Structure 1
Amino acid sequence: MKNLSTLFGKDNLDEIVFANRNKAYGAYVLRNEYSNQLTKALFVGVAFFASLSVIPLIISAFSSDKIIEVINTPGPVVLDDVDTPDITKPTPASTVPQDVKTVTNPIYTPVRNLKKDKPIPTVDDLKGAAIGEETKTGKETTISYVPPVVTSGPPAVISTPPAQPAEDPNKLINQNEADVAADFKGGINAFREKVAQSFDTESVENGGMISAVITFVVEKDGSISNLKINGSNSDFNSEAERAVKSVKAKWTPAQLKGKAVRSSFRMPISMKIE
């Protein structure tokens, strides 16, 4: 019995099967488009597998970063890497010519029992000779002699002197410590006379012989500071302080090591108040 599709054709068979039926149903559409979908699937599958076979060839073509040259010669094949050129290693030159005079200079290590195998070269031996592995005669040379560095023994300790403290520029010294004591123009008696001339005896109530001690500091510029009057009579002390401050003439400052310094000064004073 022959197949109905050979008698009526595929399209006629679909029409016969779906006669008087709903052709909008999905089965009718699938049967009509089956051959087209099958053809498309075949071409897509062939293209996919072809791309898979080509990708490794493309990757290998771009990943090669060195050119290897194959030398076609009889015998074993030798591969040369052209990216790494041959470098000829330099031959170290001899530091001492062969025909010059040389002497050995042995270095002895300190040991408990000294064994002297080779004599130490003298100054005459070293004259016009270079240091070599053996002692031999030859032409004198001008190669400079550099004595070997001996590293045996403890390292040298270099001591540094302690830093000297900075001298205080405002240091106060006693008159006896100065090289040149502070002085007033005309001497101390001239200063006493100026104080006495400015002293007002009427400001002191109790009369009689009154004494006090005047202390002050002669600054580096010749002015006086830290003025103090030590005595038993307060009126006398106050007036003596006023009289000293009224003297405007400056002192000659004390000298120490050629520089003006601050120095303390002490002067007793006595007056008879009637």
Structure 2
Amino acid sequence: MAINNVDIYGDEWLELVFANRNKSYGAYELRKHYSATVLKALAVTFGFFGVVAFGAFLLLKPAPIAARPIGREVTTVLQPIVIARPEAAAPVHHSHHHTRNGHTYSPAPAVQANPQPQTSRVPAGTVNVLPSETGGSEANRISVIEDKTVYSPANADEKPLPVGGAQGWMNYLQKNLVYPEDARQKKISGRVELSFIVEKDGRISDITVEQPAGHGFDEEAVRVLQQSPAWQPGIKDGQPVRIRYHLPVSFRMMK
């Protein structure tokens, strides 16, 4: 037999090596079934990793999301609320007439020394007193302006704070955001840009999709923001104010 023509991976080479040797010892069987054993081991290994990857795909959750405030100020000016407050009625002076020698005399009106100006108590807040154009016969008009300006976080003395702080907000989003089924089936990722206002009482309002992503991403992000617990409101000059935040929400498929 010519050795140069022998396939070292075939049975012919194995028979040549174990010629005149004890084939029942074990080494012969191991070498004879070596290729089949390796193929089985590879099949089991790839099958195991395939099951793990498929399970991770089924349990896929959105990536962590963090609120990123953008220093843009949006101002909303509303018409003042006008409250009419009647003027105090002027005192009525009764004239006392005296008759002397057939003539009637009326005493001169009494003049009060150093009269004190009248003051009226008005509600606390920013007020503008508008004088009457027709004199004292018409009520004074007091304009009370409610501050409904929407500030950016950079202009607040104290920024709004979600329940549990930044980590609590991240945990809330991770727990409640659900990957849209349509996007999951199509293996689509997306990023939604939203903005919302933290009101003076901490409620979230005016949720706006600034940059939509489609495939159900926009609706899912808005749904979770609408269900958000109330925040601790922002403070400016010692008073709660309205603050607008911008929030990017990213949905990604894990590979």
Q: TM-score, normalised by structure 2?
A: 0.39
Q: TM-score, normalised by structure 1?
A: 0.37
| Higher Rg | 1
| Higher RCO, 1 vs 2 (CA within 8 Å, ≥6 residues apart) | 2
